[in-house]
Structure 1
């Protein structure tokens, strides 16, 4: 019996390494599809259109909102971020587990629309390590780094609404842990209602 894929929402403080984790997940395991978000921010050095993000104007993004073409969207550090609907729904129907890498506002919106989605929050082992990683990027000003650290304080208030907390200390171990949690989620009763009903029916026929 072919199972529909499940939606995995991954969030985390900026600098926690969630982007690296997601790329490694897709590289190591076949059944994941990484959704590409849309944003109105400018590309960082090395980022490619359609790979890291779809980079669009504010007007184009708002047009997509008006046509219900996004599963979720949010404003983060003065820019829009959102998840295009068509790609995600197509991959789920194919049986792929779709990973959305989005921030906390969007994640909670997705959970309301897709109650069976699995929400994971990626954290560094310490705040000192978080600051070190942000500074180590070398792509952002001191002002932007401070803004991201302030944002992390705000986001910490919503972490308890996630299903799992994942500490990104060692990359390979973290990837294995996330994969194990997702595989376990496939066996939750809420995702196997059709099979459960089939078994109940067959059992009742034995009486």
Structure 2
């Protein structure tokens, strides 16, 4: 397609819903979308890398970035800070690229209120029991953190109505087809096309 304007895609989900896996596949298959890596004060899991999954920084560094106005959104979730660097998002969009944010509902709410634009997608698992099963299968966190994540999940599920789309991740391939369809459909909106002639072949004189 000839006309392609960069858009902001914001994906949220309770812990264990599988949003990171879905987002990773979208990034692998769609070359026009870039991932904005979040900053966090939590400790990395065994398979996570600084600069790839998150920028892992300490509380003092994070709070300094807050004071300097470097975040387009930030929140404290599960007793840790998470935030999105404003400059990164702005640079991608200015370059005509799509931007994908994998953030919690607190951050998504901030963005929607502050920016007034973006495509907001909520991912959920088929049940709380399934969320708990997936979290336990990770074997990455102590029991008290897991309980906190499940308690927060119950609250986050109530916020689905603040999003443009909701995707049930019961079967991964089907959930990905839904996510991919949303992504492509958002670039077929007439509102983003200034002239039909931008889309069509020019007539020969």
Q: State the TM-score, normalized to the length of structure 1.
A: 0.88
Q: CA RMSD in A?
A: 1.7
Q: CA deviation at 1:114?
A: 2.5
Corresponding residue of 1:202: none
Q: CA deviation at 1:173?
A: 2.3
Q: CA deviation at 1:144?
A: 1.2
Instruction: After the TM superposition, list the runs of 4 or more consecutive aligned residues in structure 1 that deviate by more than 4 angstroms.
Output: none
Contact persistence 1:116–1:191 (CA under 8 A) = no
Q: Distance in 2 between matches of 1:47 and 1:56?
A: 14
Q: Distance in 2 between matches of 1:161 and 1:129?
A: 23
Contact persistence 1:16–1:123 (CA under 8 A) = yes
Corresponding residue of 1:118: 119
Corresponding residue of 1:48: 49
Q: State the TM-score, normalized to the length of structure 2.
A: 0.89
Corresponding residue of 1:71: 72
The answer as to 2:119 corresponding to 1:109 is no
SS in 1 for 2:52: coil
**1:78-137 CA distance string (max 9 Å, x none):** 111000112211111222211100000100111122222011011012222111101100
- Could you list the runs of 5+ residues in structure 2 that have no partner in the other structure? 199-205
- Structure number with the higher helix fraction is 1
**1:62-82 CA distance string (max 9 Å, x none):** 111122211100000111100
Aligned pairs, how many? Answer: 196
Q: Distance in 2 between matches of 1:195 and 1:63?
A: 45
Q: Distance in 2 between matches of 1:186 and 1:119?
A: 14
Q: Distance in 2 between matches of 1:33 and 1:176?
A: 19
Q: Distance in 2 between matches of 1:87 and 1:195?
A: 30
Corresponding residue of 1:91: 92
Contact persistence 1:116–1:190 (CA under 8 A) = no
**1:134-161 CA distance string (max 9 Å, x none):** 1100111121111111101111221111
Q: Distance in 2 between matches of 1:161 and 1:189?
A: 23
